[in-house]
Amino acid sequence: MIRAVAVFALAAIAPQLIGWDVEVLHQMILATAYAVMALGLNVIVGFAGLLDLGYVAFFAIGAYTAAYFASGYWDIHLNVLLVLALAVVTTGVAGALIGVPTLRLRGDYIAIVTLAFGEIIGHVAVNGERIKLFGGTLTMGPIGIGPLDRIGLPGVGHVGALDLRPWYWFGLALIALALIVNVRLRDSRIGRAWTAMRDDEEAAAVAGIPIAHTKLMAYGTGAALGGIAGAFFAFYLGTVDAGRFEFSFSIFILSMVVLGGLGSIWGVVIGAVVLSVLNGYLLRNSLVDVSDYSAGIYGAVLVVTMLLRPEGLVRPATKSSQVRTPTA
C-alpha cells in the first residue's frame, strides 16, 4: 500500500518535473487512457481467462457515449462525471450482451466471436452516417463527431486545451479507480470464481460456480473500464474519429496485458506504459515509417513475450493469481 501511494505521488508530480513539454505530456495522457483499457482487458483475459480480440468495441462505445451526451450532435450537454457513468452503463450492458453468445464456447471460438463483435462495431462506426436515428444519423462516419464539450472538474473548473496537466491528473485518477476495482475484484468471491473458471471450467462448474454469471460479470466489468477510457479519450481529443476503431487497436491493448503479465495488475500498467512509449516515440517518430506495420510489430511482441517470458514483465502477486495463457 505504501509503495502504491509513493508511486502515485511520484506520478502526480511528474508534470512539474518535466515542465511544459507538450509532446511529453500528450504521450503521458495517452498512456493513462491505455493503462485503464489494459486493466479492463486484464479482467477478461487475465482474471477470467477469456480471450477477447474485439476489445476495441467497448472503447468505441464509450467514445460515442461521450459524443452523444456531451456535444452539439444530439444537443445534449451533461457533466463529464455523468457521461462517464453513462459510459459504464452502456459498455457494461454491451459487454454482458457479447458474453451471452460465448457462454457455451471456449478457447478459439470465444476469440472468433469477440473478434466479430469488434469488427461489427468498427464498421457500424464507419458507416453509421447511413443509419437514420432521431432525425439524424447514428454517427458521422469518417468525418467524426466534434467538438465535444469542455469538461469541468470539482476544484479544478473547466479544463482547457492549453494546459495539459489537469488532463494527466484526471487520467491518473482514472487509473487509481481502475486499480482499486481490479484489486478488490481479484480478492473477492467473484475474483476467486474467475480464477477457478480460468484454471478449469469443468471443475469450477462441478464445484458449484455459476459459469454463465461468472463470464458475464467478467465481460461487463472489463467492458465498463474500457468504456470509461474511451469516453476520457474522446473528451481529451475533442472529437470521435471512426477510423480509430480498428482490429489493430485491440491487438495493441492485448499486447500490453501479455507484456505486463496476464493477471498481474501492476504488470499490466507497466506494459501499458512501455508500449505507449514504443508507439508514441519509436514507431511514430522513427526515421523509417513503420506505422503501417505497427499491428505486426505488436503481434511480434506477443510472440516473443510468450516464448521468452510467458509470465510477463511482472508475475502475479500470489500463486492463486498465476494465469494460463488463453489459447487462440
Model confidence pLDDT, tens digit, residues 240-255: 989 889 888 998 999 9
SS3 173: helix
pLDDT top residue among 185 and 156:
185
Paired residues of 77 in beta bridges: 70
- Residue 285 gets which letter from DSSP? S
pLDDT top residue among 159 and 266:
266
pLDDT, mean of residues 300-326: 71
249: nearest Cα among 10, 41, 32, 23: 41
pLDDT, mean of residues 107-127: 90
pLDDT, mean of residues 50-58: 93
pLDDT reported for residue 191: 94
**What are the pLDDT digits (tens) for 139-156?**
998 889 989 998 876 666
pLDDT top residue among 296 and 55:
55
CA atoms of 232 and 255, how far apart (whole Å): 21
pLDDT, mean of residues 20-39: 91
pTM of the model as a whole? 0.90
pLDDT reported for residue 244: 87
Query: Model confidence at 321, in pLDDT bands (50, 70, 90)?
Result: very low
HEC readout, 179-239:
HHHHHHHHCCHHHHHHHHHHHCHHHHHHCCCCHHHHHHHHHHHHHHHHHHHHHHHHHHHCC
- The proportion of the chain whose per-residue pLDDT surpasses 90, expressed as a percent, equals 55
Average pLDDT taken over every residue of the chain: 87
pLDDT reported for residue 248: 86
Query: Model confidence at 326, in pLDDT bands (50, 70, 90)?
Result: low
Three cell numbers, residue 217? 460479470
> Please, how many CA atoms are within 13 Å of residue 199, restricted to the half-sphere of its CB?
16
**What are the pLDDT digits (tens) for 208-244?**
999 999 999 999 999 999 999 999 999 999 999 898 8
Lookup result for grid cell 519509436: 282
CA atoms of 230 and 200, how far apart (whole Å): 32
From the number of C-beta atoms within 10 Å of its C-beta (0-12, 13-18, 19+), residue 98 rates as buried
pLDDT reported for residue 160: 66
pLDDT reported for residue 318: 54
Phi, psi of 152 (to 5 degrees): -120, 130
243: nearest Cα among 129, 145, 148, 125: 125
pLDDT, mean of residues 182-190: 93
264: nearest Cα among 46, 48, 3, 50: 46
Q: Which amino acid is at 323?
A: V
From the number of C-beta atoms within 10 Å of its C-beta (0-12, 13-18, 19+), residue 3 rates as exposed
pLDDT, mean of residues 5-25: 84
